[in-house]
Structures are given as structure tokens and as C-alpha cells.
Chain A
Amino acid sequence: MKARILLVEDSQHKRGRIIEYLNSLKVDIQLSEARSFTSGCRALEEGEPFDLILLDLSLPTFDKADNEPAGRFRPFGGAEIARKLIRRNSHSKILFITQYESFQDSGRSYSFDDIHNKLMNECGDSFAGMLRYNSSKTSWKDALNKVVRKAINEDTDS
């Protein structure tokens, strides 16, 4: 059976690069995409559970459209989706993806490590990691590769 993966990412470029990389892995996956907090939540509510969920940490509330604003920007929209999953006792693995090194919300600042630790605590066994995306480097690919292969029960060294 194909492993089901959901990617929730609002940046078209980043989404394209991640999908391109996932496809290049030649693993048997069924990939779904969402572009906002709302469409991410909806994807999770519909159909079979996902084996792996790749969540951009910061998301707009709605999909961006030319003629309509995307609603409130949620600095931790990905974490909000993750909390929803955990509360529903989901067993999906969750990998957070971000391009930021630090974060601000409601007047408070958080470092990458602060957020990493917070998400790790909140997600427990579902936490598959938090990776920093940088299009010029391969490190994010390596991290993603490991998480994907682990999620589909393949040997990570293969």
C-alpha cells in the first residue's frame, strides 16, 4: 500500500521544490497538497489518515487567490494543525518545515530551538522533526529523505 503524505505549504516555489524532491526519491507514496491552514485542516479531515504530514510552520488562514485576501496570517499555523491532530489521537508523523531562524508572535520572540523543543513536547511520538528549508543547500533534502523513509518503514540507509 502506498504511504500517504500530506504537504501543507503556501509558497508555490517551496512546495514545488519539495514535491520535486519527494518524486525524485522514487518511493511509493501518495502525495496530497494543501496551501493554507484551512485547506490543510480539511485535507486531514477527509479520507484515510496520512502516514506523514509535512507542515510549513507559518501559514495563511485560507488559500491565496488573486481576487481575495488569504485571511489572518498565522505565525504558528502549522503548529495549530499539529495540535488539532494530536487532540484527535492521530498517529500520523509530523515534520515541520520552515525558512525562518526565529519567530515572533504576540510580542514574544522564539528561536528555532525554542520552537523545536516546544513542538517536540507537544507532538510527542508524532514529532518527526523540524527542518530548516534552504533552497541552495541539500541538508533539508537529507533530513526529509530520512523522515520519509522512516515513515514508510524503509531503511533510511537504503
Chain B
Amino acid sequence: MKNRGKITHENAVSQIYSQLVNPLIVATMPEDAYRKNIATFIADESDNLFDSSFQKLLNQRRFRNNFNCYANKIEDFFAIPLFRQRVSQKRIIHMYKVLLKGEAEKLTLFAEIRRRFERAFLLEQYERANSILDDCYANLGESMWYLRSRMLLLSSMGDTQKTQEYFESCKNRSKDAFVTSLIGFSQIISDSGDAALHLRQSVLSTIREFEAAGHLQSASLLELMFVPTSLVNINRYESSLLILQVLPIVDIYMYLMEIGQSIVVHEIRGGDPIQVEDEIVRFAIELNKSVNDPALSRLVEALNNVVTAEISAEGKNLLSCYEEGDYENVIKTFWITCESLANPLAYLNIVAKAYAYLNMMPSNSAYPVLSGLLNHFVQIYAVSAPPESSEESIIAQIVRLKGMTFSAHIQLSLFVSLPYRYTEQHLKISSALSLSISPEITPLAASFYNSGNLSFGERFGVNDRINIPLYRRTKRQICQLVNSNSDDALIENEFRRLFEQTPLKKEYFELYSEYCLQNNLLASLVKLCADSLALNTDYYACFPLVNLVAEIENNAGGDIEEIVVIYYYTKFVTSKMDYLLHERFEDYISDRSVTRPSQLLGQVVNLMPTELVFFRDVCRPDVMDFLACFDSINDLRAERIEILNRLADLGAVSKEFCVEEVEEIVGQVVLDAATSKFNSAKIFIDDASIRIKHKDFVSSMVVFYKQSKDDGDDRHTLLDEGEDDSGVAKVYLSGGKNSIALRIISHLRDAFLFDEKFGLAKNLSTEIRHGFFANLISARLEERMLINEIGPDGLYCSNRIWRDYNQFLLQEVWDDIDNCLKEFSRKFNELIAIAEEWMNIKENDSETERVFVYLVEMTNILAVRKLLDQADCDAEKVSSAVMDLFWESTEAHLTAMRNKLNYEFRDRLDGLFSSLLAEINVVKHGVPLIELTNAILLTREEIKEDVTTAAEWFRRAADPSLGDQTLESVVNIAIKAFHEVNRAKSSIDVDLPLNFREITIIGATVKPFVIAIINLLDNCYRRSGLGATTPVSLSGSQTPNGAQINIRNALRQDKYEELQGGLLSEIQSKLAEGGAILMRTEGGSGLSKANYQMACVSGGSGVRVVCKDSTFTAEITYESQNSIS
């Protein structure tokens, strides 16, 4: 039967082919049937017949019209549905092979155009590049490659209007919204100085959304088009094979070559095997016979593992100059020959290093693309800028130029320049990719792919020439010593010479790191690394921090250098190892027999650079709180202030640095002191932090929105990865401007609701739902043992407490009562579960009882669009408006939740108690059971209060800002906060008039007022000469326009004489100069800072000072804002 079935099937396919190939039958076949037959033929034709049959059918115009690959203008892109039903990947590759071979001439022409264009673009010959694209348009029509290249060129030429017009015309001409979205992504990536940001925030987030929705093919196509291969670990290009059908023939060709390159590096990358690897290799080999493209031939060689580097004569000359240390000639030769070099990008590293050796920057305006890249590389080699900023700029270029073959070379240059920022795998993959594109890459770059184990120094390009500069000779000497296993002392000595000789410290650090890694001398490297980073943080990229921290973790240590290295690792590599920093920090403190860092700092007279990093950067509250020595948060804050003040006194940090942080800490203390009243509200969503956290995304989306096309119905076809009978794509997702507005709302909604630190779900979950609500409501029942527990069998246990209490009851009577309690417990737990379900968030239309409903409605989208359409719209405005929308909903939900608890829940709970009492009454058979009944009645009343308490949780907690305060409160807050952060100071004698309670200080000015008083109090102790025991008093009086506060302190005789000897006049003059901004940080004394703060309170407010009878008085004048005309 099976055989007969198979024969029947083959016959059927054969019959379909016979119909398709017969012009007479085809001429009368309806379109639907014709297309269905094609789909069946593509899916089911036997392997041995498919290529020839398909080739034959392609001779028919009607057949060819069923494939997108022949489209040559935007309007026709993706006009035809895909063939996907039961089409295997192997079959699709065969289909592409026949299609591409049939267009071999075109592809040969395309390869030539592409090569010429890329070169012209790279060398900034924009007019030439423009005419090459015109030529492309005339001969090949439009393709995604053409559109992206045109966009990139226009954008690079800097003609904003022309660029914008071109973008608009492309989008307007597109008939398919998926194509429109591809154009949109191309635009946002090409026409932006921040392409890497847009890649992360727009493209990668879309890819994640596609993946989450199961649209792997669409996700894969976006990756293929926009994501640089070796920067992001991607391993699923093959998923895009089917979907490539949407593109014109040149794009299919180009992206299949990229898939071929992914096969070249697959072995290095690892992961699941590529199912159709052999098929793609055969495809490339066969296509290479028809298409004349050096890049394809190179790829075929790479697939066959036979690629080698071949340096041109000009290249050899460059390398030679470099190796001889003739850097002027390197630079000169590079710019003279860059037009004739097969791959000028291969020399980015050596030319950049040449500039760095000479302490010069490229300024060749003839080739801005190359100059721009070189500038960043020079900064990396010279460590003349934070490496992450140069790195980010290079990555932005890599992303922007992703469509160009040479983008891979830039990636390789980046990895070579920062060997410890990237892994061996990055280098190998990138080296393999570069080799599969061009033979011209430097021997060093090629070696990462060709040779797994480099000898010492090879990685950093050490050579054996004779006429080389001194430091290169030393480098060579070091390598010879290391490779011949010479004495360590000799080697170390040479390293010391190298450090003195080399103009590039990076070179020394990397070579020494390599030496230490190879010879297991990591302890020595930890010291060098810590000392170097303490002097210049930017050196972090020169050291193998990952290896160093692994070494530190595996060995017991306790040196300050280890802590410094771990600190920089958590700062620049990953925060995942915070725990190691905390533990080594704790060890360090306890090993020195102190309990607090300030005790250590107190012993220090001259700070070593690593000690400065330790106290300034490591001894922060979030690290120090791992020690168990602090009594409270304010004790911890006071410790930090003590450290900062001590560092400032030692001159180790600037006063500005110290003042800024101290003020921030004092501000937190003031806030706590002013808002410490019990606040029952538990809903605090930190929307300000959310806005900051997602600013990049919203900024990217605002740009995207501005560039997007308003396509009316705002829907676009996406590619259905499921199958239906017709094999036609049919999924619709929203797109265009509405979709971007929706994306912004959805993204911020997710953050508002689910951010793990700042979002609503955290409040509802950790503060309310997870036990807190149930605990509160159950507490009184549990206290009186009125709730039965659920046993391991899932059944309610017997209430033994009340049974023991009512031992006199007959067992059957007790059983009935116990059953009543069990039933009550069951219903009570059910009711708690129902109430907890109310406290959940609902994001879709599912039928639930959840109260916190956040569905995005069209009115929301239109409101955000209205804002986005405004010319001055920016990310902050959009985020604020969206947050306002959510707060509006949230306030309504909180009210609903309170009402539900106060009415529905309370009534249902009360009903449970009524039923319990009634049921017990029935089953108790006249036994009084007074204790039990009273316990139930009492609990029934008390629990109502708990419900009210729980309902009050559902209010928005006050913003962490200060409200209006009386002047008396302001003074008291200041004194309290002062004592919180100045533990050892004696008490202050306070005498305030009662009418200070009637003077209101508005919320916004409370903080500067408090900080002014704190500064003056601090000044009393700091400058009196009497230290912590200084007698200090504070008094006040009301004035017609406000109030005056006098803060007095006794003075030691010498301090008094110093003031009388001219210092007082100096201070008075300085204060009289008034509240210039510089006073805030550079005034030097607490008096100046206080004066500045009071000036912030109101225009007429300020501080003046007097000194007599060995007493110093600071007079605060407060003028109410209302009194200022």
C-alpha cells in the first residue's frame, strides 16, 4: 500500500509539473490554482528532477512572475507571497541556486558595482560613489542593498534635505509595510551618529519581540541585515533562508554569502550544527562557476579552508616601515597608497599605533572615513580618552556600515586593539571573517585564525628586525628571554626598561600581562594593575581583568591591590561579582584590627594612590554596609561623611568633590528626618528613575517616529511563520507611527509595572501580596487559634487548641464544631486568595478579577502621537506624559482596590464570621462555648480594623520630596540631621520662640534652609579650636519680614585673636559678595556654603557674622518670599 501511495504522490507531482510546463494548460489555469501548483511543485518535486525542472519553468514569464527576486523597484518588493508550505531548507537552497545561476550575469555586474562603490565610499569619493549607484540603478534597478547604500551615501554627504527627501520617497513608494519597516531601520541606522544605540534600542528590541512571538525567520532576517556578525553572538542565520524570498536577487545573493561566512566561523563559534551546511557549501561552489565575483571565490576558498593572507607590495612596504619604527613613513605611505591598497582597513592598527607612538592625531581631511576611524584607534593605543568611548564610536561605525563587506575588517581592528576587552573567540571569528572577504590582512591579524597558539609576544607583533627603536629592541629582548625560559629577574629587569622606554604604556601593560598570564605570575600583575588603575582609570582596558579576578577569587589574599582590581572589574566588566568585592573589603578591614574604614583613614598621613581609590571609591555606603559595624543607615552615612571630610583635609580629593557628595548624603538624612512619620501607603513607583533608565530607548523611538511614514491604516504585513493551505503569509502586526507610539507606551508600561526595583509589581508583590496581606488579615485569627492549618495531605487539620480547651465536649459534637472551623478556614483562605488576585496586574483582555488593569487604548496612542508630532518633543516630555497616563490609571485602580477591600472584602469576611457563628450555634447542641464564641466575635470586630489598614496600603506613597514645614521644624530637622551625621559632637543649647511654629517654610526651600543651618553648626565645631566639646547655642526671633536665627559658639583664645586680626573682615567681605554659584563649592567654609544656601531660600535671605567676647555668631536672616516685592 505504501509503495502504491508513494507512486501516486510522485505521479501527482509529475502531473503538476507537466501542467506547469505546458503553455496551453498554463494559459487557461486560474491564478489561484496556478500558484497552488507551483507551491506543490516546489515542495514535492523529487531532488533529482527539481533543479532542471525549475530551470525550465523559469523560462516562462508567468512562472517567473511568482517570485519577488525579479523585482527591481521598491513598489514591487515583497509584492508576491512566499512559498513556504512544506518547503525544506535544502529545497529552498536549490531554488536559490537555480534562481541565482539564471541571473549570473547580473550578479557579476552587481559584484563589480558593489566593490567599486564600497571603495569609493571608503575613500570618500562621494561623487564617484554617486555615479556608481546611478549606474547600478540603470542596470540592476533597486534592491535593499541599493537603498541602504544610497541612504548611507546621502547621509555621509551631509545634505540633510536631500537625505530626508530620499527616505520619504522610499517609504512612500513602498507598498508593503514590512519593507517599509526595513527601510525605516536602514534609515535610522544609516543616518545617525549613534547607530549602536539605535541597533540596541530599536533593532535588537524588535528582534526580541519577534522571537517572543515565535517569528524566528523575521528575527533572523533582521539580524542578517543589521547586526554585526561577531559583535553579537548570533548563530541562527539559517532561519532566514525561507524569508530571503522577499528580497530582490542581488540581496538574496549578498545575504546567502553572509550565511556562507557564518558557516566559515561556525566551528569557532560552536553551537548547534547547521543542518544545511553541506548544501550551502555546494551551492557556493556551484554558483562560483557562473558568477565572476572575487568575493565569492574567496568565500569558497574559506569554506574549503584554504584561505591565506596575501599582502600587496604596498602593504609589505607599510609593514616594513612599521616594524623598523619609521612611523612618519608609515603614516606618509598609508595616505599616499591608501587608494591603491586592496584593503586599506587592514592597516588601521599599525597606522593608529604609528600616530600614537609619535603622539599625533590624524588630520587628513581627504579621507574623513579613514581619518575618523583612525582617530578612535589612536585614542585607544595612546589611552588618551576613556577606552569605552572610543570603542563605542567604532562600534557605531561598524553598525552603520554593516551592509559593507569591509565592516568585518573594522571589527577585527577593534578586537586587535583591545585584546583584553574581547575574547580569543572574538579575535578568531573576526580574523576568519576578514580572511573570507579579503586576502589582504596583516600577518598578525591573520594569525588569530590560522594559529591557535602564538608564541610569547607574537600577539603584540614583536619582530626580529635590526633597525628598530630602543623600546622595540627591548621588547624583542624580552620575548627572546621569555621564549628561552631565562631567569625571571632578567626578564623583569627588561620589563622595567621597557616601561621607561616605550611611549605607549598600553603596549607595556599588555606585554607584561601576557608574560604574567603565561608564567602564572598573576599576583605580580595584580599589583601592577591596581597601581596603574589608581593613577589612570582608563588603563583598565590594558589588563586581563577577568583572569585577574578569577585568580583573586581562587586565592586567599587581603591586599588593598586586590580590592582595587575587583572594584574596577565590577565597574567596567560586570557587577556580578559584587560579593567578592564585599568579602575582600570586609577581610581587609578586619585584618587590620579595626571595625570601620574611618579608623584606618585616621591613621594615614600620606595616602598611596591605591589607598585613595579604596577610601574614595570603594568605601561607599553600598559596599560598607556589608560590614556589621554600623548601627543604622545614618551611622553608615556619617561614616561616609567622615571619610570624605578626612580625604578633603588630606587634600586627596577636591573640596568640590567632597561638598557635592556630603550635600547629597545630608539631603537624604534631612529627607528622612523630615518625612519619618509613619506612612501607611505602600505604593511607590519611582517613575523618575524609570524615565532615566529608559531614556535611551525613548530617545531612539522619538527619532524613529520623526523619520517614520504615516501609512494611514497603520498595519503592515509581517511574515507568518506558520503555514496555511494557501502557503500565503497572513499575519498582521501594527506598524508605522501608531506602532512606534504603541511601542513607547508598551515599553514604558512594562517598566512602570514590572521594573524589578522601581515598578508597581514589586510594590504589590514584595510589599503586599507575598504574605503581607495574608499575614495581616490572618494574624488575629491565628492569635486566637481560629484558623485551621492545611496538612501535608492538603486537608485541613483539626483545631487541637480549641479541642483541648473544650475537652468536656462529646467527640461527635466537637467533630461538628471542628468541621465548621475547617470550612471557615477553607473559605477564609479562598477569600484571601481572591483578594490577592485583585492585587495583580492585568495587561490583556483575559477574564480575571484583577483590579490593576493596564490595557493600551487607541486614545492613549493618539495622545502620545499628538505629543510626538510637536516640533519640540523630546524623550523626557514623552516619558513624562506616558507616566502621567499610567499614574492616572493607577490612582483609579488604587481607589477601586480600597473600595473593594473596604466594602466587598469586608462584607464577605463578615459574612464568613456570621456563617461560622450560625453553624456552630446549630451543631453545638446547646453547649454555651462562651470562650470560643467570644473569640470569634472579638476577632470579627478587630479584623475590620486590619482590613482598613490593608486598604490604606493602596495609596500612592508621597514623593520623596519635602513638604512645607514650620520654621521650628526646619531648625529641629537640621539639628537632628546634624547629630545623625556628626556622632561625637556635644549637644546644642536651643532656644526658639513659640512663634517659629507659625512661620511656614515652603517645601522647595526647606532643604537649602536645613543645609544652611547644618553648615553653620558644623562650622562651630570645626573652626572654634575647641573641637567636639565646643559650647554651641541656637536662638531665634521673628522679624517683620521673616526671622533671624543666631548660632553662637565659644572660641579658643588663639582662634578669637586670629578672627580679630583680620580674618573676620575677610569672611565678612566674602559673605557680602553674595551668592555666586562658586560659593557653593569653592567658598571653602561652611559659612559661604550656608550663605549660598540661604540665597537659594529667598532673595533677601543670607548669613552675616560677628565676633566679640570670645564668641562667634553666625546670623541667619530669613526673608519670607511673600515679603519680597
B642 to chain A, nearest CB (A): 18
Cross-chain contact B626 with A80 (CB below 8 angstroms)? yes
Say whether B456 faces chain A, with CB atoms less than 8 Å apart: no
Chain B proximity mask over A70-93: 1 for CB below 8 Å, otherwise 0 = 111000000010011001000000
Cα–Cα distance between A136 and B678 once the two chains are bound (Å): 29
Cross-chain contact B771 with A99 (CB below 8 angstroms)? yes
A135 to chain B, nearest CB (A): 6
Chain B residue, CB-CB nearest to A141: B789
Question: Which residues does chain B contribute within 8 Å of A68, judged by CB atoms?
Answer: 632-634, 672, 676
Question: Which residues does chain A contribute within 8 Å of B634, judged by CB atoms?
Answer: 68
Residues of B659-683 at the interface with A, using a CB-CB cut-off of 8 Å, are 672, 676, 678
Contacts A62-B631, A136-B778, A138-B789 known; 18 new A-B pairs at CB < 8 A: A11-B772, A11-B775, A14-B771, A37-B625, A37-B628, A38-B628, A38-B630, A58-B766, A67-B672, A69-B633, A71-B625, A72-B622, A87-B583, A104-B756, A133-B771, A135-B774, A136-B774, A137-B790
Question: Which residues does chain B contribute within 8 Å of A62, judged by CB atoms?
Answer: 630-633
Question: Which residues does chain A contribute within 8 Å of B576, judged by CB atoms?
Answer: 106
Cross-chain contact A135 with B771 (CB below 8 angstroms)? yes
Say whether A150 faces chain B, with CB atoms less than 8 Å apart: no
Question: Which residues does chain B contribute within 8 Å of A99, judged by CB atoms?
Answer: 770-771
Question: Which residues does chain B contribute within 8 Å of A2, judged by CB atoms?
Answer: none
Say whether B779 faces chain A, with CB atoms less than 8 Å apart: yes
Question: Which residues does chain B contribute within 8 Å of A84, judged by CB atoms?
Answer: 583, 586
Cα–Cα distance between A66 and B576 once the two chains are bound (Å): 33
Residues of B562-600 at the interface with A, using a CB-CB cut-off of 8 Å, are 575-576, 579, 582-583, 586
Question: Shortest 6 CB-CB distances between A and B: which pairs?
Answer: A41-B628, A99-B771, A13-B775, A104-B756, A67-B676, A71-B633
Say whether B853 faces chain A, with CB atoms less than 8 Å apart: no
B155 to chain A, nearest CB (A): 34
A118 to chain B, nearest CB (A): 12
Cross-chain contact A13 with B676 (CB below 8 angstroms)? no
Chain A proximity mask over B621-654: 1 for CB below 8 Å, otherwise 0 = 1100110101111101000000000000000000
Cross-chain contact A69 with B672 (CB below 8 angstroms)? yes
Chain A residue, CB-CB nearest to B582: A80
Say whether B285 faces chain A, with CB atoms less than 8 Å apart: no
Cα–Cα distance between A133 and B621 once the two chains are bound (Å): 32
Say whether A107 faces chain B, with CB atoms less than 8 Å apart: yes
Question: Which residues does chain A contribute within 8 Å of B621, judged by CB atoms?
Answer: 72
Cross-chain contact A66 with B676 (CB below 8 angstroms)? yes
Cross-chain contact A137 with B789 (CB below 8 angstroms)? yes
* Residues of B participating in the A interface, judged by any CB pair closer than 8 Å: 575-576, 579, 582-583, 586, 621-622, 625-626, 628, 630-634, 636, 672, 676, 678, 756, 766, 770-772, 774-776, 778-779, 782, 787, 789-792, 797, 825, 829, 832
Given A61-B625, A106-B576, A137-B789: A70 and B633 interface contact (C-beta under 8 Å): yes
Cα–Cα distance between A14 and B776 once the two chains are bound (Å): 10
Cross-chain contact A136 with B633 (CB below 8 angstroms)? no
Cα–Cα distance between A74 and B766 once the two chains are bound (Å): 12
Chain A residue, CB-CB nearest to B762: A104
Question: Which residues does chain A contribute within 8 Å of B770, judged by CB atoms?
Answer: 99-100
Question: Which residues does chain A contribute within 8 Å of B672, judged by CB atoms?
Answer: 67-69
Cα–Cα distance between A107 and B754 once the two chains are bound (Å): 11
Given A66-B676, A107-B756, A135-B778: A142 and B633 interface contact (C-beta under 8 Å): no
Say whether A65 faces chain B, with CB atoms less than 8 Å apart: yes
Residues of A15-64 at the interface with B, using a CB-CB cut-off of 8 Å, are 17, 37-38, 41-42, 45, 58, 61-62
A-B pairs with beta carbons under 8 Å apart, 13 shown: A11-B775, A14-B775, A37-B625, A38-B628, A68-B672, A72-B621, A80-B626, A84-B583, A87-B583, A135-B775, A136-B787, A137-B789, A137-B791
A44 to chain B, nearest CB (A): 8
Cross-chain contact B782 with A61 (CB below 8 angstroms)? no
Given A38-B628, A69-B672, A71-B625: A142 and B792 interface contact (C-beta under 8 Å): yes
B575 to chain A, nearest CB (A): 6
Say whether A139 faces chain B, with CB atoms less than 8 Å apart: yes
Cα–Cα distance between A11 and B767 once the two chains are bound (Å): 11
B256 to chain A, nearest CB (A): 37
Cα–Cα distance between A137 and B774 once the two chains are bound (Å): 12
Chain A residue, CB-CB nearest to B756: A104
Cross-chain contact B628 with A136 (CB below 8 angstroms)? no
Question: Which residues does chain A contribute within 8 Å of B797, judged by CB atoms?
Answer: 138
* Residues of A participating in the B interface, judged by any CB pair closer than 8 Å: 11, 13-14, 17, 37-38, 41-42, 45, 58, 61-62, 65-72, 80, 83-84, 87, 99-100, 104-107, 133-139, 141-142
A48 to chain B, nearest CB (A): 17
Question: Which residues does chain A contribute within 8 Å of B575, judged by CB atoms?
Answer: 106
Say which residue of B625, B678, B778, B790 sits within 8 Å of A66 (CB atoms): B678
Say which residue of A45, A69, A71, A136 sits within 8 Å of B790 (CB atoms): A136
Q: Pick from A37, A62, A70 the residue with the most CB of B within 10 Å.
A: A62
Question: Which residues does chain B contribute within 8 Å of A100, judged by CB atoms?
Answer: 766, 770
Cα–Cα distance between A13 and B797 once the two chains are bound (Å): 21
Cα–Cα distance between A156 and B96 once the two chains are bound (Å): 71
B591 to chain A, nearest CB (A): 13
Chain B residue, CB-CB nearest to A100: B770
Cross-chain contact A138 with B628 (CB below 8 angstroms)? no
Question: Which residues does chain A contribute within 8 Å of B778, judged by CB atoms?
Answer: 135-136
Question: Which residues does chain B contribute within 8 Å of A41, judged by CB atoms?
Answer: 628
Chain B residue, CB-CB nearest to A42: B628
Say which residue of B622, B756, B782 sits within 8 Å of A17 (CB atoms): B782
B100 to chain A, nearest CB (A): 44
Cross-chain contact B779 with A13 (CB below 8 angstroms)? yes
Given A38-B628, A62-B632, A68-B632: A136 and B829 interface contact (C-beta under 8 Å): yes
Cα–Cα distance between A109 and B720 once the two chains are bound (Å): 31
A90 to chain B, nearest CB (A): 14
Question: Which residues does chain A contribute within 8 Å of B790, judged by CB atoms?
Answer: 136-139
Cross-chain contact A80 with B579 (CB below 8 angstroms)? yes
Chain A residue, CB-CB nearest to B770: A99
Cα–Cα distance between A13 and B783 once the two chains are bound (Å): 10
Cα–Cα distance between A72 and B624 once the two chains are bound (Å): 11
Question: Which residues does chain B contribute within 8 Å of A133, judged by CB atoms?
Answer: 771
Cα–Cα distance between A129 and B790 once the two chains are bound (Å): 21
Cα–Cα distance between A107 and B755 once the two chains are bound (Å): 9
Cα–Cα distance between A95 and B372 once the two chains are bound (Å): 59
Cross-chain contact A138 with B630 (CB below 8 angstroms)? no
Cross-chain contact B756 with A136 (CB below 8 angstroms)? no
Cα–Cα distance between A110 and B631 once the two chains are bound (Å): 31
Cα–Cα distance between A11 and B772 once the two chains are bound (Å): 9
Cα–Cα distance between A88 and B625 once the two chains are bound (Å): 19
Chain A residue, CB-CB nearest to B575: A106
Cα–Cα distance between A37 and B629 once the two chains are bound (Å): 11
A100 to chain B, nearest CB (A): 6
A32 to chain B, nearest CB (A): 15
Cα–Cα distance between A58 and B771 once the two chains are bound (Å): 13
Chain B residue, CB-CB nearest to A104: B756
Cα–Cα distance between A106 and B632 once the two chains are bound (Å): 24
Cross-chain contact B583 with A13 (CB below 8 angstroms)? no
Cα–Cα distance between A138 and B797 once the two chains are bound (Å): 9
Question: Which residues does chain A contribute within 8 Å of B772, judged by CB atoms?
Answer: 11
Cross-chain contact A45 with B771 (CB below 8 angstroms)? no
Cα–Cα distance between A107 and B209 once the two chains are bound (Å): 18
Cross-chain contact B792 with A139 (CB below 8 angstroms)? yes
Chain B residue, CB-CB nearest to A41: B628
B829 to chain A, nearest CB (A): 5
A71 to chain B, nearest CB (A): 4
Chain A residue, CB-CB nearest to B794: A137
Question: Which residues does chain B contribute within 8 Å of A14, judged by CB atoms?
Answer: 771, 775
Chain A residue, CB-CB nearest to B765: A100
Chain A residue, CB-CB nearest to B771: A99
B634 to chain A, nearest CB (A): 6
Question: Which residues does chain A contribute within 8 Å of B775, judged by CB atoms?
Answer: 11, 13-14, 135
Chain B residue, CB-CB nearest to A137: B790
Cα–Cα distance between A42 and B635 once the two chains are bound (Å): 15
Chain B residue, CB-CB nearest to A73: B766
A120 to chain B, nearest CB (A): 17
B673 to chain A, nearest CB (A): 8
Q: Pick from A42, A69, A80 the residue with the most CB of B within 10 Å.
A: A69
